[in-house]
Structure 1
Amino acid sequence: MKLRSISLVMALGLYLGTMAQVPSLTIKEEVMSLKTYNFNKPNPVPILTDNAKIFPYFKFEEYEHVAKKKNWKVVTLENDYIKVFVLPEIGGKVWGAIEKSTGEEFLYKNEVVKFRNIAMRGPWTSGGIEFNFGLIGHHPSTATPVDYKVISNADGSVSCVVGNMDLPSRTVWRVEIKLEEDKAYFETNASWYNASPLNQSYYNWMTAAAVVSDDLEFIYPGNQFLEHGGDAKPWPIDSEGRDLSLYKNNNFGGDVSEHVVGDFKDFFGGYYHNKEFGFGHWAPYDEMPGQKLWLWSQARSGGIWEDLLTDHDGQYMEFQAGRLFNQYFPGDTNPISQANFEPYVMDRWREIWFPFKEIGGMVDANENGVLNVKESDNGLYIGINALQNLKDTLQVEINGKEIFTEALDLAPMELFSKLLPKQPKGEIVVKVGNSKLHYTNNNKGSLLKRPFKDDENIVVSENAKLYHEGWEALKFRDYALASEKLKQLLDREPAHQGALLKLAELEYRSTNYSTALIYVNKVLKQDTYLPEANYLAGIIYRSQKDYINALESFGWAARSMQFRSVSFAQMAEVYLLQNNFKKAELYTQKALDYNLYNINAKQIQLLLARKMSDKSEFDRAYNALLTADPLNHFALIESQLINNDLPLSVPNTIKNEFPNETILELAIYYQGLGLTKEALEVLELATNDVKADLWKSYLLRESNSTRSQQLLTQVLKSPIDFVYPYRAETTAVLEWAHSRDQDWKLTYYLAQNYIAIGQYDSGLQLLQDCGMEPDSHIFYRFRAKMLNDNNYPKKENDYLKALQYKADDWKIWEETIQFYLDHDHTDKAYKMAGKAYRTFSPNANIGLIYTKAALLVDEYKKTIEVLNNIQILPFEHASESKHIFTQAHILLALKNIEHKRYAKAITLLETSKQWPENLGVGKPHTVDERMQDYLLAHCYELLNDPDKKKELLGNIISRLQKGNTYGSNDLYRLLSLKKMGRETDLVQLQEKLSTAAAKGNEEAEWVLSLFKKDYNIPLKTKSGLKRSVWKILQASSKL
């Protein structure tokens, strides 16, 4: 590995004297040249139609098959015991960590940077610790640069602080990766702040990785695990009697995703019994109760990812620590729900990550060390691995009687091991000091009584259900669904306070302040003191510049602890807007009295000190702010302003992927406080940025109209690529600009902003108003996606127009072909796909969509030919390639059956069962081959091989049914039972399918129809089937 030092190499080393064994501590920032499979081709079309929840981010479309060396910044923290690597340009992740005495990794360190399409924006690479904040896992910044800072701390420790702003929610996260000289662990001290005045989605999981092997034991305290939907299952022994805590016993089913719960313990991890080495995580249970186990399937469906994510480092697992019990997806009925992130709240928590060795396992762990206790026929084994200097007394008790004691004096990573004689049955207690480490074999005291299953006997009213669904949708950033559910509730109960307030919040998000106030006042007419209603009234009045009513409303909201700090901070900001510095100072302090980490209040405190020329107070507030938030860019701007360092320079902490977004956020913050001069000074830091120029033009509209117009003209000359207005504050800017000039670019920007904040109809109308004037493929692709499917001619015109402007872009061809397929214009799709394939081959995306089009026009040989020569990297639709492969072979087999070429049909059907890995998929443990087996049975019947026929039909009938789930392949069980003359079983299965169909299972409905040879299936059901599947099922039912 080629190393090249750059500007910063900090060695905090440390007086060695004459003793070679004195610990040393270093931190350095360098550039490493790493083998990298990179990603590229950012998609400039606004993501509002595909995943509006993460707008204004965009996706990447291409991933490299061949590695190249690439330079990456690496921060390395090292002491005598461990070595930790951080990648600030790849999401700020911990790259890996090594225990030095063994050379073993206690965090999986992938020696190649191999990006694959897994994350919310696409690229993701395995290993280390990924810090996830926001909505769901693999956050939008996981593969791109974040802000960071290397620090030498006053206590002698060293830190690398990484962080970023989550653009959609405008929340800010930080993680301090800290190492001390005399510790065999490192810390991650996280903080996450909601700087917005609204509720935001809440998701945090620290995704750590470790290598897997058959000797690996998962040490996860608990007695149940939760699935993503919240359903609880037994742990570690499952319902089949398998011990899931052993990696080798998970060699069944698909990928494993289990959130272990039920025990009030602070630690979890794993241990490799053959190499006698382990890894672990510790955090106070109240801070990090979540402990998730993720495993790739041990079938090839998971094994293929070993090759796709690394070159030589082997398969890995994830041991994830979370702020919540599980990574919940809304929808299922159980006690688990979405969490909420309240305004002006900072959450902070501390975790440690550590290695241990040669003690056989772990029954307790914390900053002091790792303890293992094991009873066997050989005696009572006690092992301790110190993680820092551990000088105390070890005591062992049996049934309250002390049987052994010994003084310990261990250095970090030093071991203690003792085998005591076998003890009589009873309660064993092993402890070091005053609970520095503690174990008892009576663990019932730490088991939780919390219910993880719902009570089927509890009847929830329809109104309560609608409110729950609406609130859950709001917390999941599904604002349209939230509005729909809450309005349904108001139709049933017009005075429902919760629904009125949540709708007020939704209208506030959309800048419909008058409507929001109507909802709030309906609640205040019922309860004038209600804190949430008063808080919402306060922020609405503030947005309307009605400061008296804002202050009055905030005052009532502050009577509640929930809204006290944020309301006082809002009042401070309002007083600052009114230049009432003394009152602003008073309410800033009141806000901090009840929330020491109210960053908005701390920032106002710093700003006021500058405004009042109080240098001493400024220095105090500056240090306090950076202590709470070491990457606070506002503090660095204020430091320049108080020293009159103009023009401003970009703070050296801004190193993220979107520095102009950070700068614009700062400028908007100043403008929101009425500080136009400071806002303009900050905006000058943005380079070549359309949104910054729009804001400057707007802010100068009265004071310098000439410069304002110049800036607006500059905006109109700039390309629209990757310009994504999304903030509520920017709508007023764009409305002003649009009133000055109706150029299509301004109309397009305003349309985006309206859609982003929830004014969908207004945004769509603006897109329509642009007509055919725009000269950018981006615009036409976006509008085509946004238009209702009923607008087929307009959508087609937009796609064709986009191709006119950029015919050399494979992505536009793919989108246009998919558009034709979606509207059943398969001939057009096939013709265009063939041309695209000839132009862009070997592009796998084009190849895949070509096979889809070919399949749907009955060109099965062409489909198979292309699939045999394609190389697909896995992505969210990778399984589609296998479906196309299977269906093409089966449909070609059916043609051969039709022409009585049964041997050829058998070969095709057997081939259809294969899982070629060039298609980007691997074979899972369990596959459903009933479709092929039934057709094979038919062929063998016609070839006079009754034994083979009977065997195949018997396999179909005996295939285990999972619960009461039914799919298209259940047709083959019906047909097989009929062929085998098993009338009783046939009737029973028909009854079960009828019951499922009556409960809304459409697949059960059409399976029954096909079995009865009734092909007049309702349109909504038939249209949901892929045409090729329908052909196979219909042909099968006629055999």
Structure 2
Amino acid sequence: MIWEKLLTDNDGQYVELQSGRLFNQAAEGSMYSPFKHVSFMPYTHDSWTEYWFPVKNTRGLTHATPEIALNLRVQNGWLKWDACAISPLNDTLTMSVPFTRDVPVKRMLQLKPLETVRDSIRWSGEVERLKIQLGETVIANGQPADLTRPLAAPKEFDWESEYGLYTQAKDLANQRKYEEAATYLKKVIEKNKYHVDALVDLGELYLNFKIGWQGHALPLIKQALAINAYHPKANYLQGMMEWNMVGSLDYFGVASLHSAYRSPALTQLAIRAIRNEEWAKADEFLQQALEANSTNFDALQLEIVVARKRKRNAHALKLIKELLFKDPLNHFARFENTLITNGEDNKKAFSGLINSELPHETYIEIALWYNKLRLFEEGLQVLEYAPKEVMVLLWKSELMSQLSKDGKQYQMEALKMSPERVFPFRDGDSGLFLNALSSSDKNAAEMGSYYFFLAALALKQVDAKHILRVGEPEIKYAPYYLLKAELLKDEKEEVLNALEKAYEIDPKSWRVVKRLAEFYAANGELKKAIRINEEKLTKYLKTKKVETSGLPEHEIYILGQQRAELLKQAGRYQEALEVLNSLTILPNEGASGAHKLYRELNIRYAATLNQQKKYREAFAVLEQAEKWPENLGSGEPYNPDNRLTWYLKKWMTQKLTKQEPQPADITKLTKNLSAYEFELLKLFQ
């Protein structure tokens, strides 16, 4: 009910129905069902139309189209139907039974959007047998709508068989759990060392997700090609390992024989032709790639580059216009427009639409797209538009070195900047920091070491823990020490040193305060935990007003909830409840921690009152435990589980009237009680 005040009407709650393109929203366990995780082929583009529409006053929903929503049901020999217009309607709604003359409903509808109509007629058939039409549009064809496909995997299917292991490997890869996928592929190869698809897929994982493991991928793919020279994926991956045209033409040529790999393979050949400045050949490959897949957006972008390089500017501008029609937010197209026109308005249009949380990363992505084509000048020009950030300057330095220019000043400037917003994650990022590691400038060397550590962590190139122990950077940056504490979480002394170092550097950071307080509380220093939390919240705790606290609201509710948890551990339940009651926690999907804590505090406080024989007060607190305060950010479900508090309230009433608890009540309660709630019940013994 928490959302009702946010609605624009005042007639109660609403229900949001969703229907997607797939059969389910696949979770981890879906791989053991028929409904696996799906993936994309290289250079594919997918599009579909989504319909979002409100429906009102239909008392349910059984059928919907972009024009009309219907609710049909048969009750006591009557066919009852409600209709809500989604679009303006001026057509005939017909409901009939196929192959008979039975036409229960034939009604002309003239409705504006969200206008409704309802009716009923004597009819006792089955709704599923009705053919429903609105004008010429068939809404239902009179056939049962239930799925006829299997909904569960065979119980006797052997998931440890060769195919079972391979199926799990593919699904894990589609979930982007690449290391787990590799483990299962190795198991397949142990069972059958010539399982071609497993060899190729493992080679792909090594090639794309284990930086520097190309040498491990090569023998696997070569083994597959020795068994099947025409294996499309093996040829495509082998072609990817060939940098020049001569080596790659053979493999991409064979891969292009397969329809799924034809457009990607030809696109890769076009890239190699562009690197060699063979513009006519590149154009030829691109036309073939687009013939195979007209929505290959990389090929469409490459086509613009080739047209510009061939001085066909009018054609390039035409292609840009067409691409922007298909993809209005395509930043690359707008940048190409600036290269051709050099107009100030076009330059503003390019940079003005890059408004992401980390805009510099968008500029870097565009620059590196040119970099893979060896078009370093264009890449540098992109970075001229980018805000001054560490990674931007480092990539500027790298691109200048590719053009045999000295970009050292950009690197040194970058290494003197704050490490805020630096998240290296690309294959080439770690190479940017290698020169800095040997710098005579100690500060620059330390920052380079830190960035190399981040890249190694993201790309899993080496063991990040090993870097921490062997060549730990010494930088004054609290998030680094928070990360160190997380990586070394099994080493208590290292964690404590890292967290206290983070606090020394930035005692005002709510993240640092929260993490250090958690550590103290978990390691027997609860008073320290409460004190450090209280120091951060001092002003707020005095007035319970956000405006005078000097802190953002999100910091108050995050640390305030932590304070309530710490006070609970200290047995100060009433204080903890006062803190929770003062907070305003923003509702978010699935959030229930604050309410769970609120309920537990009330029950624990009631148990304390029970021990003091204050049964009437305990009863009132248990009543409070059943509430769902709006400020805690969790909406009350339709059927909350209050069995524990119901029983405890009954027990308090029995104590007030000096009755004995009924054993049957206890048996009924504890039958399906969770271990967590059972522990709360024991507080009243």
User: Quick check: 1:537 aligned with 2:537?
Assistant: no
The separation in 1 between residues aligned to 2:191 and 2:527, in whole angstroms, is 49
Deviations 1:964-1004 (A, max 9, x none): xx73168x5xxxxxxxxxxxxxxxxxxxxxxxxxxxxxxxx
What is the TM-score when the length of structure 1 is the normalising length? 0.56
CA distance 1:509–1:409, shift in 2 (3 Å)? same
Which among 726, 733, 737 is matched to residue 425 of structure 2? 726
Q: Which residue of the partner structure matches residue 553 of structure 2?
A: none
Q: 1:421, 1:900 → 2: CA distance? A: 65
- Tell me the alpha carbon deviations over residues 271-320 of structure 1, each in whole angstroms, 9 at most, x when there is no partner: xxxxxxxxxxxxxxxxxxxxxxxxxxxxxxxx124347889796443233
Give the counterpart letter for 1:481 in structure 2.
E
Structure 1 residue 594: Cα displacement: 1.0
Displacement after TM superposition at 1:680 (Å): 0.8
Higher mean C-alpha deviation, range 380-389 or range 553-562: 380-389
Q: Residue 879 of structure 1 corresponds to which residue in structure 2? A: 592
Tell me the residue number matched to 2:549.
none
Which residue matches 2:504?
804
5+ long unaligned stretches in structure 1: 1-302, 973-1028
TM alignment of 1:363-402, pairs within 5 A: 366=65, 387=87, 399-401=99-101
2:550 aligns with: none
CA distance in 2, matches of 1:395, 1:904: 62
Measured in 1, the distance between the counterparts of 2:656 and 2:118 equals: 72
1:509-588 aligned within 5 A: 509-512=209-212, 513-539=214-240, 541-542=241-242, 545=243, 547-588=245-286
1:917 deviates by 4.3
Alpha carbons of 1:535 and 1:401: their partners in 2 closer, same or farther (altered >3 Å)?
Answer: same
Deviation at 1:710, TM superposition (A): 1.3
Pair 931,770 (structure 1): closer, same or farther in 2 beyond 3 Å = farther
Q: 1:353 to 1:660 in 2, by over 3 A?
A: same
Asked whether the equivalents of residues 776 and 802 of structure 1 are also in contact (C-alpha less than 8 Å), the reply is: yes
Residue 852 of structure 1 and its aligned partner are, at CA, apart by 1.9
Q: Pick the aligned partner of 2:408 from 692, 709, 714.
A: 709
Deviation at 1:345, TM superposition (A): 0.3
TM-score, with normalisation over the residues of structure 2? 0.81
1:398 and 1:645, CA in 2 relative to 1: closer, same or farther beyond 3 A?
A: closer
- Distance of 2:617 and 2:89 partners within structure 1: 74
1:566 deviation in Å? 0.7
Q: Is the counterpart of residue 348 in structure 1 residue 47 in structure 2?
A: yes
**2-side partners of 1:418 and 1:695: how far apart?**
65
Q: 754, 757, 770: which is aligned to 2:459?
A: 757
**TM-aligned CA distance change 1:876 to 1:828, over 3 Å:** farther
Q: Is the 8 A contact 2:36 2:171 kept in 1?
A: yes
Task: Give the Cα separation in 2 of the matches to 1:695 and 1:379.
Answer: 69
1:600 is aligned to 298
Amino acid paired to 1:517: L
Q: Structure 1 CA distance, aligned partners of 2:586 and 2:72?
A: 46
What is the CA-CA distance between 1:599 and the residue it aligns to?
Answer: 0.9
1:490-501 correspondence runs (5 A): 490=189, 494-501=193-200
In the TM superposition, what is the alpha-carbon distance from 1:678 to its structure 2 partner?
0.9
Using the alignment, how far apart are the partners of 1:835 and 1:725 within structure 2? 34
Contact 2:93 2:132 in 1 (8 A): no
Deviates more, 1:596-605 or 1:894-903: 894-903
Cα displacement (A) at 1:386? 9.3
Which residue matches 2:474?
Answer: 773
Residues in 2 aligned to 1:380 and 1:848: alpha-carbon distance in whole angstroms: 51
Which AA in structure 2 matches 1:709? K
Is the Cα contact below 8 Å between 1:368 and 1:436 reproduced in 2? no
Between 720-729 and 315-324, report the one with greater CA deviation. Answer: 315-324
CA–CA separation in structure 2 for the residues paired with 1:618 and 1:810:
51
- Deviations, residues 514-534 of structure 1 (Å, cap 9, x unaligned): 223343334334433221222
Distance across 2 between alignment mates of 1:622 and 1:452: 46
Aligned pair 1:847/2:560, yes or no? yes
- d(CA) in 2 for partners of 1:597 and 1:495? 36
Match of 1:330 among 28, 31, 38: 28
| C-alpha distance in 1 between matches for 2:590 and 2:113 | 47
Cα shift at 1:691: 1.4
Supply the distance in 2 between the matched residues of 1:305 and 1:459 (Cα, whole angstroms): 47
Instruction: Label 1:323 to 1:423 Cα distance change in 2 as closer, same or farther (>3 A).
Output: closer
Aligned-partner SS, 2:421: coil
Deviation (angstroms), 1:575: 1.5
1:700 match = 400
The SS at the match of 1:748 is helix
2:513–2:536 contact (8 Å) kept in structure 1: yes
What is the aligned partner in structure 1 of residue 167 from structure 2?
468
User: How far, CA to CA, are the matches of 1:360 and 1:896 in structure 2?
Assistant: 47
Q: 1:733 to 1:312 in 2, by over 3 A?
A: farther
1:617–1:482 Cα change, 3 Å = same
What is the identity percentage for the equivalent residue pairs of Structure 1 and Structure 2?
A: 27
* Higher RCO (CA 8 Å, separation ≥ 6 residues): 1
Q: Which has the higher helix share?
A: 2
Number of corresponding residues? 661
User: Does the alignment pair 1:792 with 2:499?
Assistant: no
Cα shift readout 1:95-126 (whole Å, capped 9, x = no counterpart): xxxxxxxxxxxxxxxxxxxxxxxxxxxxxxxx
Aligned to 1:477: 176
Q: Provide the C-alpha distance between the structure 2 equivalents of 1:772 and 1:720, rounded to a whole number of angstroms.
A: 13
CA–CA separation in structure 2 for the residues paired with 1:892 and 1:935 = 13
Are 2:55 and 2:84, in contact at CA under 8 Å, matched by a contact in 1?
no
Q: For 1:425 and 1:888, how far apart are their aligned partners in 2?
A: 56
Change in 2 beyond 3 A, CA 1:491/1:798: farther
Task: Give a deviation string over 1:209-258, Cα, whole Å, max 9, x none.
Answer: xxxxxxxxxxxxxxxxxxxxxxxxxxxxxxxxxxxxxxxxxxxxxxxxxx
- Cα-to-partner distance string for 1:850-900 (whole Å, 9 max, x where unaligned): 222233244445434434444433457853334434444555555666677
- Per the alignment, residue 548 of structure 2 pairs with none
2:560 is paired with a residue of what secondary structure? Answer: helix
Call closer, same or farther: CA 1:488–1:783 in 2, change over 3 Å. farther
802-811 or 944-953: which moved more? 944-953
CA distance in 1, matches of 2:70, 2:197: 49
Alignment partner, residue 748 of structure 1: 450
Deviations 1:449-508 (A, max 9, x none): 222233324343354444333332322233343344444555555554444433333322
- Distance in 1 of aligned mates of 2:616 and 2:114: 69
Query: Following the alignment from structure 1 to structure 2, what is the Cα–Cα distance between the partners of residues 368 and 938?
Result: 57
Shift in Å, 1:848: 1.7
Aligned equivalents of 1:390, 1:931: Cα separation in 2: 57
Match of 1:668 in 2: 368
Of 421, 424, 436 in structure 1, the residue corresponding to residue 137 of structure 2 is 436
TM-aligned CA deviation for residue 369 of structure 1: 6.4
Instruction: Please say if residues 56 and 114 of structure 2, whose CA atoms lie closer than 8 Å, have aligned partners that are also in contact.
Output: no
Asked if 1:817 corresponds to 2:517, the answer is yes
Question: Is the CA contact 2:72–2:79 (under 8 Å) kept in the aligned structure 1?
Answer: no
CA 1:784 to 1:396, structure 2 compared with 1: closer, same or farther past 3 Å?
closer
List per-residue Cα deviations over 1:891-949 (Å, max 9, x = no partner): 55556666777676666656555544444335444455566677778878888944444
Q: 1:799 to 1:942 in 2, by over 3 A?
A: same
1:649 to 344, 347, 355: 347
The one-letter code matched in structure 1 to 2:416 is K
Q: Distance in 1 between matches of 2:210 and 2:400?
A: 26
Distance 1:647 1:387 in 2: 39
Higher strand share: 1
Counterpart contact for 1:399–1:428, Cα < 8 Å:
no
Q: Which runs of 5+ in 2 are unaligned?
A: 545-555
Distance 1:597 1:823, change over 3 A: farther
